[in-house]
Amino acid sequence: MKYVKAILPYIIVVILVLVVRSYIMTPVLVDGSSMEPNLVNNQVLILKRYDRKPQRFDVVVFKYGKSKLVKRVIGLPGEYIEYKNSKLYVNGKQIDEDMISEATYNFDLGMLGYTVIPDGYYFVMGDNRNNSKDSRIIGLIKQQDILGTVSLSIFPFNRFGFIK
């Protein structure tokens, strides 16, 4: 009985850590340069697993094949997305993107065969628009493939804090 009392606190801590990592938050690693300059290769972020209904410009992590990708949500269900002269238009209205500074080539959702983004899907892009495998290439992202959103960087320490 003494032995059980001695290890019980450790078992509880392990169970709590597993629950937190599985359902609440867990670290994720940025792999590649597709989100530069806002996120860099090997940057460690905190994934909020409970947040699976992102809003425009949220950074999400989603399953793509056997890997996980980190991208920014640009288009929401029910919207028509297009880029003209490096400007984002949602349902014909121009929307400012203050998190990027590089040009985005002309694109519209019709190039993927859609008139609007269907329910349960999102249009995502990397911030490094000229070097990103995103919805322009891989298509729309299913909501069920979204693992959560990220808004906090914890490593490297010079990038510690909330991400834009």
Rounded to 5°, angle at Cα 136 from 131 and 137:
75
User: Is residue 4 one of the residues assigned to a domain?
Assistant: no
User: Is residue 21 one of the residues assigned to a domain?
Assistant: no
Report yes or no: 142 and 106 within 8 Å, Cβ to Cβ: no
| pLDDT at residue 84 in the model | 95
What is the CATH classification number for the domain harbouring 77? 2.10.109.10
User: Is residue 134 one of the residues assigned to a domain?
Assistant: yes
Give this prediction's pTM: 0.90
Domain that holds residue 52: 28-162
Residues of the chain with pLDDT under 70: 1
User: Is residue 138 one of the residues assigned to a domain?
Assistant: yes
**Catalytic sites, residue numbers:** 34, 71
User: Is residue 22 one of the residues assigned to a domain?
Assistant: no
| pLDDT at residue 7 in the model | 87
User: Is residue 70 one of the residues assigned to a domain?
Assistant: yes
Cα–Cα distance, 19 to 61 (Å, whole number) = 19
| pLDDT at residue 2 in the model | 75
| pLDDT at residue 149 in the model | 97
| pLDDT at residue 58 in the model | 97
User: Is residue 12 one of the residues assigned to a domain?
Assistant: no
User: Is residue 42 one of the residues assigned to a domain?
Assistant: yes
Residue 136 in tokens: 């322009």
Among 26, 24, 65, 67, CA closest to 44: 26
| pLDDT at residue 23 in the model | 77
| pLDDT at residue 52 in the model | 87
User: In the chain, how many domains are there?
Assistant: 1
| pLDDT at residue 17 in the model | 80
**CA distances in angstroms from 162 to 38, 51, 101, 125, 150, listed in the order given:** 11, 16, 19, 19, 9
Tens digit of pLDDT for each residue in 75-104? 999 999 999 999 999 999 999 998 887 889
3-state secondary structure the chain: CHHHHHHHHHHHHHHHHHHHHHHHEEEEECCCCCCCCCCCCCCEEEEECCCCCCCCCCEEEEEECCEEEEEEEEECCCCCEEEECCEEEECCEEECCCCCCCCCCCEEHHHHCCCCCCCCEEEEECCCCCCCCCHHHHCCEEHHHEEEEEEEEEECHHHCEECC
